[in-house]
């Protein structure tokens, strides 16, 4: 099985040593077991180590370029677990001997970030694309995330010799006790950066403002979070970035109230129109619609306009727009109107209606009281 070491590192076949080194460093930061303990990632980490071991060594590289396999077909096995000799400078500079127990990596995954985005009902219904400004830590371009000033590099810590911890023998009543503690000079990293990058003060990242384009799918609601992978904070030491979450805030609509994917509104019609029937124009999210008020419509009745609500976020179709009707009784009547109404009431035999009472809260309350009193 011949592995394409160039492809593993993502470099061209004519890449310079410097480019190979840079590509390796970038990948190593991203895939280091301290950052990314996932077994698949560790497998990939071994791969890039093997690829780098071959391509960074002029002899091995030549052999490989001529079609041989300097790793003896054992790619993926060799190159890790002991033989760091060929690129110990790199390993020391970055992780010391971090493959086992030892110094901790300077590189850590960045944190997730969150930003709120306000949209209106129409945008929530049909989806939209928005430009947002985000302030996050991004990789420092001056030092490429390494934290060392250009032209310098991290050095193996001389106090702990790159181990990241120092041991101390103390005497106690139990005899001699050996204790280990993180190296105070390098804070356990195993390396020191003698000349920190002036741009990021050695952190490997800087804060910067970016503009991102976010696609908002149709059907989002208040509180919906859209995850943008890798757009969060870059980690310390130029570590891989966290994710960015965009939380949706929906501005209240002046006419429609949203409940789930249905919209509700109220239309007021005069008593005569409710009795005779009419059509009322309504500006919906899809444009003008005629709401059909049937003859004999009662106050409180609702008229659904199917498919004129908000798009379902998962699945097809849309909710409904529900128009609640409120019938208005005329407040003031002139003489002629009053006469006409009296005439109508007479015709309908409604001059002295007995009314139809229904049990309301009061009825329920007295029944409860009866129950308490054992009646
Ligand atoms: Zn820097
Ligand atoms: Zn140290």
Please indicate whether the domains covering 113-154+193-250 and 257-331 agree at the CATH topology level.
yes
Task: Please report which ligand is nearest the Cα atom of 137.
Answer: 1
pLDDT beyond 60 at 345: yes
* CATH class held by domain 113-154+193-250: mainly beta
In this structure, is the dihedral angle defined by the CA atoms of residues 130, 131, 133 and 134, taken in order, positive or negative?
Answer: positive
pLDDT of residue 98: 38
Q: How far, in Å, from the CA of 192 to the mean position of ligand 2?
A: 7
Tokens describing residue 256: 């429609």
Residue appearing with tokens 């109404």: 341
Distance CA 228, CA 244 (A): 5
Residue 265 assigned as binding residue:
no
Distance 129 CA to ligand 1 centre (A): 33
The alpha carbon of 29 and the centre of ligand 2 are apart by a number of angstroms equal to: 20
**Which pLDDT score is estimated for 218?**
95
What is the Å distance from ligand 1's center to 253 Cα? 47
Mean pLDDT of 196-223: 94
Give the number of the ligand closest to the Cα of residue 206. 1
pTM above 0.75, yes or no: no
Q: What percent of the chain has pLDDT over 90?
A: 58
**d(CA 33, ligand 2 centre) in Å:** 20
Among 198, 218, 201, 212, CA closest to 261 = 218
The pLDDT score that the predictor gives to residue 75 is 38
pLDDT higher than threshold 80 for residue 72:
no
Residue 315's pLDDT band (cuts 50, 70, 90): confident
Ligand nearest to the CA of 158: 2
Using the mean position of ligand 2's atoms as its centre, give its distance from the Cα of residue 191 in Å: 6
pLDDT score at 35 = 75
Q: Cβ contacts of residue 39 below 8 Å, gap of 6+?
A: none
Distance 19 CA to ligand 2 centre (A): 29
| The 3-state secondary structure of the chain, one letter per residue | CCCCHHHHHCCCCCCCHHHHHHHHHHHHHHHCCCCCCCHHHHHHHHHHHHHHHHHCCHHHHHHHHCCCCCCCCCCCCCCCCCCCHHHHHHHHHHCCCCCCCCCCCCCCCCCCEEEEEEECHHHHHHCEEEEEEEEEEEECCCCCCCCECCCCCCEECCCCCCCCEEEEEEEECCEEEEEEEECCCCCCCCEECCCECCCCCCCCEEEEEEEEEEEECCCCCCCCEEEECCCCCCEHHHECCCCEEEEEEECCCCCCEEECCEEEEEEEEEHHHHHHCEEEEEEECCEEEEEEECCCCCCCCEEEECCCCCECCCCCCECCEEEEEEEECCCCCCHHHHHHHHHHHHHCCCCCCCCCCCCCHHHHHHHHHHHHCCC
Would you state the structure tokens that stand for residue 229, as one six-digit string?
């992978």
> 151-172, pLDDT tens digit by residue?
999 899 999 999 999 988 877 7
The ligand that comes nearest to the alpha carbon of residue 155 is: 2
Q: Which ligand is nearest to the CA of 141?
A: 1
Ligand nearest to the CA of 204: 1
Reported as a pLDDT band with limits 50, 70 and 90, residue 215 is: very high
Residue 112: what pLDDT? 95
257-331: CATH number: 2.60.260.20
State how far the Cα of 19 lies from the Cα of 11, in Å rounded to an integer.
8
Q: Which listed ligand is nearest to 160 at the C-alpha?
A: 2
| Nearest-angstrom CA–CA distance, 283 and 288 | 4
Query: Topology of domain 5-95, per CATH?
Result: Helix Hairpins (1.10.287)
What are the domain boundaries of the chain?
Answer: 5-95, 113-154+193-250, 257-331
Whether 373 shows a pLDDT value over 90: the answer reads no
Q: Of all residues in the chain, what percent carry a pLDDT higher than 70?
A: 87
Distance 182 CA to ligand 2 centre (A): 8
Token pair 């789930």 is at which residue?
260
Dist. CA 139 → ligand 1 center (Å): 8
| Span from the CA of 185 to the centroid of ligand 1 (angstroms) | 21
Among all ligands shown, which has an atom nearest to the Cα of 144? 1
Greatest mean pLDDT among 73-82, 99-108, 187-196 lies in 187-196
pLDDT at 177: 78
What integer pLDDT is reported at residue 372 of this predicted model? 60
Is 147:235 a contact under the CB 8 Å cutoff? no
**Cα-to-centroid distance, 187 and ligand 1 (Å):** 19
Mean pLDDT of all residues in the chain? 85
* CA distances for 33 relative to 28, 44, 71, 250, 357, angstroms: 9, 10, 23, 41, 76
Write out pLDDT tens, residues 248-262: 999 999 999 999 999
| CA gap 26, 52 in Å, rounded | 12
Whether 98 and 90 have beta carbons less than 8 Å apart is answered as no
On the question of pLDDT at 246 being above 70, the answer is: yes
- In the reported structure, the alpha carbon of residue 144 is separated from the centroid of ligand 1 by a whole-number distance in angstroms of 6
- The Å distance, Cα 206 to ligand 1 centre, comes to 7
User: β-strand 113-119 against 244-250: which pairing, if any?
Assistant: parallel
Q: In this structure, is the dihedral angle defined by the CA atoms of residues 120, 124, 126 and 128, taken in order, positive or negative?
A: positive
From ligand 2's centre to the CA of 127, what distance in Å? 54
Maximum Cα–Cα distance across the chain: 115
């Amino acid at each position: 099985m011949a592995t394409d070491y160039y492809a593993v590192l993502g470099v061209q076949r004519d890449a310079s040593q410097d480019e190979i080194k840079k590509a390796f460093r970038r990948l190593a930061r991203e895939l280091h077991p301290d950052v990314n303990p996932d077994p698949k990632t560790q497998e990939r980490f071994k791969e890039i180590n093997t690829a780098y071991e071959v391509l960074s060594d002029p002899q091995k590289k030549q052999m490989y370029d001529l079609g041989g396999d300097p790793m003896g077909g054992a790619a993926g096995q060799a190159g890790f677990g002991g033989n760091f000799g060929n690129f110990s400078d790199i390993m020391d500079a970055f992780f010391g001997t971090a493959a086992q127990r030892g110094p901790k990596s300077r590189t850590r995954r960045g944190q997730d970030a969150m930003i709120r985005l306000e949209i209106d009902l129409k945008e929530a219904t049909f989806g939209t694309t928005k430009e947002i400004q985000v302030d996050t830590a991004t990789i420092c371009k001056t030092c490429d995330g390494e934290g060392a000033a250009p032209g310098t590099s991290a050095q193996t810590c001389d106090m702990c010799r790159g181990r990241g911890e120092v041991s101390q023998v103390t005497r106690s009543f139990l005899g001699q006790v050996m204790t280990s503690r993180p190296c105070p000079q390098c804070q356990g990293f195993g390396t020191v950066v003698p000349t920190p990058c002036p741009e990021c003060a050695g952190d490997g990242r800087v804060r910067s403002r970016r503009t991102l384009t976010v696609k908002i799918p149709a059907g989002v609601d208040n509180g919906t979070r859209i995850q943008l992978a890798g757009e969060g904070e870059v980690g310390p030491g130029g570590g891989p970035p966290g994710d960015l979450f965009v939380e949706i805030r929906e501005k209240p609509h002046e006419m429609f109230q949203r409940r789930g994917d249905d919209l509700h509104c109220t239309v007021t019609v005069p008593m005569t129109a409710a009795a005779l029937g009419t059509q009322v124009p309504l500006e919906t999210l899809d444009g003008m619609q005629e709401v059909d008020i049937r003859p004999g419509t009662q106050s409180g009745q609702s008229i659904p306009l199917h498919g004129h609500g908000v798009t379902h976020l998962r699945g097809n179709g849309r909710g409904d727009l529900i128009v609640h009707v409120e019938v208005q009784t005329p407040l003031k009547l002139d003489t002629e109107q009053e006469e006409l109404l009296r005439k109508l009431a007479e015709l309908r035999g409604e001059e002295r209606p007995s009314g139809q009472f229904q049990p309301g809260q009061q009825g329920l309350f007295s029944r409860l009281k009866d129950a308490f009193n054992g009646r």
